A and B are shown apart, each in its own frame.
Chain A
Amino acid sequence: MLDLAKYQSIGAALKDALETFTSEVCLIEADREREKERLTYREFSERTIPRAKTLQAAGFSAGDRGAIVMTNQFKWLMSAYAIFYCGGVLVPLDYKLTPEEHWHLLQHSGAKVLVTEYPIWRQLAASDARAGVENLQRVFVTEAPAKADLAGAQRWEEALAEGQPEFVPRMRKDVATIVYSSGTGGRPKGCMMTHENYLEQCVALTSVYPFAPGMRYLSILPTNHAIDFMVGFFGPFICGATVVHLRTLRPEFVREAFVKYKITYVSLVPLVLKNLQKGLQARFDALPAGKRKIFNALVAVNKTFTKGRPRLGLSRALLKEVHQAFGGELRAIIVGGAFSEPRTLQFFYDLGIPVANGYGLTEAGTAITVNDLKPFRADTVGKPLPGMEVRVVNADAGGIGDICVRSKTVMSGYLNEPELTAETIVDGWLQTGDLGRFDATGHLQLFGRKKNMIVTEEGKNIYPEDIEMVFESLPVKEFCVFAANYVWPQRSMVGEQLILALRLEPGQTFTDDLRREISVRNNRLRNYKRVHGVVIAKEDFPRTASMKIKRNVLAERLRELDRETAILPL
């Protein structure tokens, strides 16, 4: 692993990694059962340099912003490196957003360049939202069919300018990326992450979960996500490890990839982890009685011997078939993006597969705490990583209070939002909006949120303000979307839902027609963004002098209603 203390920027560290691990395999890309690419670090560099030169020839220079909207594939990483090589600021966007949402963020970020895939560009180019986004000067499109109408874009494959581009150095405090934690439909929250944020986060994470040449990371979470960016790109690269990309994420091909590529680490969201658990449990349940008895006995032995720490060799020998199904070399499953249920984590640990669960948020880099497995604690999100100061303030009698974080991994602020930044980072401490408690051994436990938002099991952060536009002009007096747990606080971080609070006109009733109208609009949202039910408010919404809804006051009023009966399902 490179000594990151010596580096000022992501680009400089990546450049050295490519020159250090030249003959190691850097990337493998497969589409279903077909392997499409296998690149060494040298080949990665050779194929990226002409792209960096193309960007520079197009006038892309230090501090310019370059966006990527792509699924997980090797061209994502090459494009990111080309942007860093030029001293640019990377804007990684979620490819699952709608074209309108993409244009909104492309405009907000001030991106000068966009790299995207043809199927995504086809939709972006056809969107009315494209008009008026004048900051975007160049679009590079990958994998466009030969006769495709590129709508003003250039083929990425042909972006091969000749000559050596100039490597543009950046300093630690310079902004490296703008990562959107929310705001696709409302007020964008673009987290400005510095080079230092990533360098420090990488040192902290690899101290607990190290990479090395020969190790293989299976990239499933979108690379725009903080976790995959760190453990599916920067982390493995500066250690000379291999990243495996799959062009389809169908469960059967993901299962095959574990075995075929002998995966060392994988990151998953809780939804996928639970699905894996379900599949394994069904297979265990289907075992004949005798075999099942032996299997359960082996699991019990494994549990006994791994109580204090994982013993991978022993677990692989005891539960050979289970481990072979994961390729036989899996060291840990990294789970993040949302809260995981302890029983799911324990299920895997009992099989000898450690799950690296932790806690983090975009604003603080990748992870703040992580389970160090000494011993494994499924009921907590682990201890603070080296360099992270975590404190719980305003605690109640049970020790539960607001989680605040101070570290070199905390963002420099929200793009163009100084007031919001000042509210979020107070005296250097990031106010996470999450509630937690430290136990006697220093492990952090989470107990819900104070903030008005939800995180789905797929790891998606959904802020009510971002989806309200779909209900504009609804035939009611007024409306407002809430996280149900914000209105009725729960000591839980699973099963979170959104609700639509309505104030009807005088004499108006909640009819089937109105319910239908809400459902139709609700269905225009991506499935994970939809509201779960409706709550009818008994009085007009409280508003500020500028007529903005006082959400916290309205939530307090709604809290007086009985949650069970107040939420009318859609």
Chain B
Amino acid sequence: MRTIEQTTQEVLELAAKHFQVGAATLAPDDDFFKKLGIDSLQALELLSRLENHFGIELPDYEVQGVSDFRTLAERIQSRL
């Protein structure tokens, strides 16, 4: 079982890879819309990638209003 720290780190790494930015430039409390310069559709793409990676389903309502990596990782952790 992953710890929340590990999950958060994996979320950051996957986001960095998906949007081709340096992983070191992203921090857990960053607002991913702003930091990555993405729109809501691109955020949905990232969610699909995270679901595949963690082997879970994240209903849309679980991520409604979430905009930082830490909260996103917490929502994922609760379904692992």
Contact = CB atoms under 8 A, between A and B. Distances in A.
Interface of A: 32, 71, 95-96, 98, 117, 119-120, 247-252, 271-272, 275, 457-458, 523, 526-528, 530
A323 to B, nearest CB: 23
11 contacts: A98-B65, A247-B60, A249-B44, A249-B60, A251-B45, A252-B48, A457-B39, A458-B40, A523-B67, A527-B34, A530-B34
Interface centre among B31, B34, B41 (most CB of A within 10 A): B41
A98 B64 CA distance: 10
B57 interface: yes
B31 to A, nearest CB: 5
A272 B33 CA distance: 16
Contacts of A251: 41, 44-45, 48
A372 B62 CA distance: 40
A223 to B, nearest CB: 15
Contacts of A530: 34
Residues of B contacting A: mostly: helix
Contacts of A250: 44-45, 47-48
A270 to B, nearest CB: 11
Interface residues of B, number: 18
B57 A32 contact: yes
Nearest to A525: B67
The 6 A-B pairs of least Cβ separation, nearest first, read A527-B33, A119-B61, A275-B41, A523-B31, A248-B60, A250-B44
Given A248-B60, A527-B34, A271 B40 contact: yes
Contacts of A523: 31, 34, 67
Contacts of B60: 71, 247-249
Contacts of B39: 271, 457-458
Contacts, number: 48
Contacts of B57: 32
A530 B33 CA distance: 11
Contacts of B67: 523, 526-527
A120 B61 contact: yes
A248 B59 contact: yes
A526 B65 contact: yes
Nearest to B51: A250
A152 B40 CA distance: 33
A245 to B, nearest CB: 12
B45 A247 contact: no
A147 B41 CA distance: 34
Nearest to B58: A248
Contacts of A96: 64-65
Contacts of A271: 39-41
B7 to A, nearest CB: 20
Contacts of B45: 250-251
A119 B62 CA distance: 8
Contacts of A119: 59, 61-62, 64
Contacts of B62: 119
Interface string B24-53: 000000010110000111001101100000
A310 B61 CA distance: 39
A310 B31 CA distance: 44
B40 A527 contact: yes
Given A32-B57, A523-B67, A527-B33, 19 more contacts: A71-B60, A71-B61, A96-B64, A119-B62, A120-B61, A247-B60, A249-B60, A251-B41, A251-B48, A271-B39, A271-B40, A271-B41, A458-B39, A523-B31, A526-B65, A526-B67, A527-B31, A527-B67, A528-B40
A270 B31 CA distance: 24
B40 A117 contact: no
A283 to B, nearest CB: 16
A250 B65 CA distance: 16
Contacts of B33: 527
